[in-house]
């Protein structure tokens, strides 16, 4: 992989199912190789721009602004995991005919998982980073405990990288998003995925206990897992590390 560096990015808009879908794209000059598509966690984009830069060193890379917290104006879809999965699926059909390397982080991993299970012809490889929520965190008390334990290991600089998007989304949309993710059952969905899956968690990720990652990996027909430094939002300022994980997933393609 090339050394991590700031690469040109551009904003793009695509009309999908009658609604505008914004994304951030880099590496568009690459006509050969895979297309990497990234689904962010809880609608925040800022903490993943370093990952976009690093991936653009070897692949055209698109970070989807779903459900649309990254801009003012109409969102791409409702702030719920199923709606985001449907929008990502429709975007893939609209934009590319080539199966992609799909990465999702946190709640984005849950949405990406649904895309891969429902559309095996559209996803060549899947990277699930910090996939939420284990069963014990599908109630308020469990999720709150996970938040407190995890927050102690997150860098303070993560706040300005994510809060602006959360403020644009608003507290009601964020709460709706979290409830949707808690109602999801990734352990069931992953059994229907036919492409290779790479799962990863941060060493101090309280939202993704080791036992939960092991359970998902065992349920995947072709799953592998790893633990990396950091907490739940380990991709933040570790773009090259995250890009290397995505490249590892891409290497698993049949």
Give residue-wise pLDDT tens across range 90-100.
999 999 999 99
Q: Which two tokens stand for residue 98?
A: 């080539």
Task: Determine, yes or no, domain membership for 222.
Answer: yes
How many distinct structural domains can be found in the chain? 1
Query: Phi, psi (5° rounding) for residue 13?
Result: -130, 135
Task: Determine, yes or no, domain membership for 217.
Answer: yes
Range of the domain at 164: 9-251
- CA dist 227 and 152 (Å) reads 18
Q: Return the axis-axis angle of helices 107-118 and 171-183, rounded to nearest 10°.
A: 50
Task: Determine, yes or no, domain membership for 151.
Answer: yes
CATH number assigned to the domain comprising residue 226: 3.40.50.1820
Query: Phi, psi (5° rounding) for residue 100?
Result: -105, 165
- CA dist 75 and 73 (Å) reads 6
Rounded to an integer, the average pLDDT of 152-157 is: 96
Task: Determine, yes or no, domain membership for 108.
Answer: yes
Whether the per-residue pLDDT at 115 is higher than 70: the answer is yes
- CA dist 155 and 236 (Å) reads 9
CB–CB of 205/234 below 8 Å? yes
Task: Determine, yes or no, domain membership for 1.
Answer: no
> What is the band of 73 on the pLDDT scale with cuts at 50, 70, 90?
confident
Task: Determine, yes or no, domain membership for 4.
Answer: no
Task: Determine, yes or no, domain membership for 25.
Answer: yes
Whether the per-residue pLDDT at 1 is higher than 80: the answer is no
- CA dist 248 and 254 (Å) reads 13
pTM above 0.75, yes or no: yes
- CA dist 199 and 15 (Å) reads 31
Task: Determine, yes or no, domain membership for 2.
Answer: no
Instruction: Using the structure block, give the residue that is written with the tokens 């430094």.
Output: 229
Choice between 30 and 184, residue whose per-residue pLDDT is larger: 184
CB–CB of 163/172 below 8 Å? no
Give residue-wise pLDDT tens across range 189-212.
999 999 999 999 999 999 999 999
- CA dist 219 and 215 (Å) reads 6
CB–CB of 52/63 below 8 Å? yes
> What is the band of 30 on the pLDDT scale with cuts at 50, 70, 90?
confident
């Amino acid at each position: 992989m090339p050394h991590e560096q700031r690469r040109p990015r551009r904003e793009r808009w695509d009309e999908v199912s009658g609604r505008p879908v914004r994304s951030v794209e880099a590496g568009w000059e690459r006509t050969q190789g895979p297309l990497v598509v990234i689904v962010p966690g809880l609608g925040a984009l800022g903490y993943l721009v370093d990952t976009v830069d690093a991936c653009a060193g070897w692949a055209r890379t698109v970070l989807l602004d779903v459900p649309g917290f990254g801009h003012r104006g109409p969102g791409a879809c409702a702030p719920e995991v199923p709606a985001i999965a449907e929008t990502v699926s429709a975007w893939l059909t609209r934009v590319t005919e080539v199966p992609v390397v799909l990465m999702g982080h946190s709640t984005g991993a849950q949405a990406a998982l649904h895309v891969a299970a429902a559309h095996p012809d559209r996803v060549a490889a899947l990277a699930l980073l910090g996939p939420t929520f284990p069963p014990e965190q599908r109630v308020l008390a469990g999720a709150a405990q996970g938040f407190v334990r995890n927050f102690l290991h997150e860098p303070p600089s993560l706040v300005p990288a994510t809060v602006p998007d959360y403020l644009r989304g608003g507290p009601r949309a964020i709460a709706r998003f979290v409830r949707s993710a808690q109602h999801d059952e990734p352990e069931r969905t992953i059994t229907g995925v036919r492409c290779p899956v790479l799962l990863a968690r941060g060493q101090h990720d309280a939202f993704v206990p080791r036992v939960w990652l092991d359970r998902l990996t065992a349920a995947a027909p072709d799953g592998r897992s790893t633990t990396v430094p950091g907490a739940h939002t380990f991709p933040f300022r570790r773009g090259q590390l995250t890009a290397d994980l995505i490249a590892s997933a891409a290497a698993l393609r049949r």
